Structures are given as structure tokens and as C-alpha cells.
Amino acid sequence: MALRPPELFSRGPAPLARLFFYCALSLACIVVDAHYHQLELFRKALNLLLAPIQTLANSPSQALQAFGKAWDNQSDLQAENQRLRQQLLEQAPQMQQFQSLQADLNTLKQLLQIQQQQFPAGIIAPITGVARNPFTQKIIIGVGANKGLESGSPVLSQEGLVGQVTTVNLFSSEVSLITNKNVVIPLLLTRTGMRTLAFGNGEQGTLSLPYVPMGTDIRAGDVLVTSGIDGLYPEGLSVATVLSVQRDPVSAFAQIRCQPDGAVFKHRQVLVLNRQQTLNPEHTELEQADTAPVPHTRAVRKGRKP
């Protein structure tokens, strides 16, 4: 018996028969599931098996969506950042002006408080300029003879003594700072009560105490105030703080440098005191005695009528 070669293409049921078979099977499954709910367990098992495949199939689209969302968020953040930066730049001048106005307001409040409590006749004056020569240590204020200013009037800031009016014009005045080399101020050391003189150092912007004996009890951090004995500056105004004390055995006096307390270059307003108000009663009486006219008197002899 001869062997037949295997068929290369085995023929099964006809395609149309297969279609009818699968359609009938599908209808049967639908009817059984709808009326008897017998395929629920099979559906759950099938979903459990197909879940990894579905996740793997959906991962490219989910990754693409996540990337697009992150890109959009980054773009939105960059745009928002750029907008905020531009807004900040636009508001920077206003913010700087606000800070400057706030500082001026605080300065005015402090000066008004000093004026009301201690020197009601004082005048608050704006600083309009600085002397062209930085070695002279002078400033210009926008008040002059039109407000009754006099040469020699003390000038204060909220921190302490600034200087004195040296030149009075009609609408402006020149103020020599206490650091001017031509200014001398009688001072009092608050810790020990020692009296001394302070001289300005010009361009260095500091004060020196050249006539303090070597053995005097003075050290860095001591506070110096006006003594009031000159009749120009009121007593007790804050002037300076001792920076350094150097004692040289060869010299009879200590070398002392002081830092002024009145930070005039930080502010735009100062308080100018009335010179007559700052005089001590003793100085006022002396000035009045010197300027008072001598009354004309006639000798009256005994027994005669004048």
C-alpha cells in the first residue's frame, strides 16, 4: 500500500459555516449571561488575564499624554515667570519710591516728636545739596532768612547733633557738619562726667579728642553728649561714640577717634533750632547785661530837691 503525501493545505469548514457557528455561539452566550448570569466568573477571569495586556497597550498613549501635560505646565510656568518678572521690573521704581517716602515719613515723625517735646521753635528743613568740595564737610538746606534763620543755629537729626548754620541766604543756608575741621564742640562723657573738646577731622568724617590726658578713664563705646557750657548747643544732645583709644607713652595725651551719631547723609530732613532758644539762662543774662543801656541818673544832694 503506497503512502499518500500529506496535503499542504487542509480544508476545514466553509467560511460561511464558521460565521454562522460563531454568531450562534455569541447569541447563546449573550442569552445565557443576560438571563442566568453564568458567565460572570469567566468575564472576571478574562479581565484579570487581559489587564496587563491592556495596561501595556495603553502605556504609550499615557506616557505621551503625561509628557504633553508636563511640557504644557513647564511652558505655562515659564510664561508666568516671565510675566511676573516683567511686572516686578515695572513696579520696581514705584517700590523704591515707596521705600524712600516711608523713610522720609519716619524721619519727619521723629523730628516732629523732638520738636514738640524739646524744641517747639525749631524748623524742619529739607537737605537740598552737599558742598561741592567734599573736604569741607558741609550741606545745603532749603531754609534761609525767609524763615528767620540765624548764623550759628544748631542743626539736629533724629540720631543726634549734625552741625551748625554758618551761612544764611534768603532761601537757603549752609550748614557746617560737626566733622568739619573748623568746628569745636564742648562735650561731656556720660559714663564719668568728664568734660572735653571735640574737633572735626575734615575728610575723614570723624571726631578727635586731642586734649584728653593719658590716664583718663575713657574707652571704646563711651557716649559723648553736648555739655552746653558754650551757650550754642543745648545740653545733652547726642554727638558721638568713641571708636578707638590709643595711648602712647611718649605723648601726654591719648589719641581718641569718635564716630558721629547724627547720620545726616541717610536722611533728607533736619531740625534747625532757634539760636535764642538754645542759650542757657546764664548766657542769656550775660548777653542782656552787655547789651542793656546804662540808665542816666542825677546825684541828689541831701536837703535839696532833684
Distances (CA, A) of 191 to 154, 209, 217, 221, 234: 24, 16, 9, 10, 19
Residue 242 has pLDDT above 90, yes or no: yes
Least confident of 124-128, 204-208, 279-283, 294-298: 294-298
Number of other residues whose CB lies within 10 A of the CB of residue 143:
21
Q: How far apart are CA 271 and CA 125, in angstroms?
A: 6
Buried b (16+ CB within 10 A) or exposed e, 260-298: bbbebeebebbbbbbbeebbeeeeeeeeeeeeeeeeeee
Q: Does domain 123-280 have CATH number 3.40.50.970?
A: no
Looking at residue 168, its pLDDT comes to: 92
Using pLDDT thresholds of 50, 70 and 90, give the confidence band for residue 220.
very high
What is the mean pLDDT of the segment spanning 171-185?
90
In terms of average pLDDT, the best of 32-46, 105-119, 242-256 is 242-256
Looking at residue 5, its pLDDT comes to: 53
Using pLDDT thresholds of 50, 70 and 90, give the confidence band for residue 21.
confident
Where is pLDDT greater, at 171 or 262? 171
Using pLDDT thresholds of 50, 70 and 90, give the confidence band for residue 299.
very low
The per-residue pLDDT of the chain, averaged, comes to: 78
Using pLDDT thresholds of 50, 70 and 90, give the confidence band for residue 286.
very low
Residue 3 has pLDDT above 60, yes or no: no
| pLDDT tens, residue by residue, 258-269 | 999 887 777 788
| pLDDT tens, residue by residue, 103-137 | 667 767 767 776 666 666 788 888 888 877 777 88
* Sign of the Cα pseudo-torsion (60, 63, 65, 71, in order): negative
Domain boundaries, the chain: 123-280
Looking at residue 6, its pLDDT comes to: 56
What is the mean pLDDT of the segment spanning 183-199?
91
Q: What is the DSSP string of the chain?
A: -PPPPPPSS---S-HHHHHHHHHHHHHHHHHHHHHH--SHHHHHHHHHHHHHHHHHHHHHHHHHHHHHHHHHHHHHHHHHHHHHHHHHHHHHHHHHHHHHHHHHHHHHHHHHHHHHHT-TT-EEEEEEEE-SSGGG-EEEES--GGGT--TT-EEE-SSSEEEEEEEE-SS-EEEEETTSTT-EEEEEETTT--EEEEEE-GGG--EE-TT-BTT----TT-EEEE--TTSSSPTT-EEEEEEEEE--TTSSB-EEEEEES--GGG-SEEEEPPHHHHS-HHHHHHHHHHHSPPPP-----TTS--
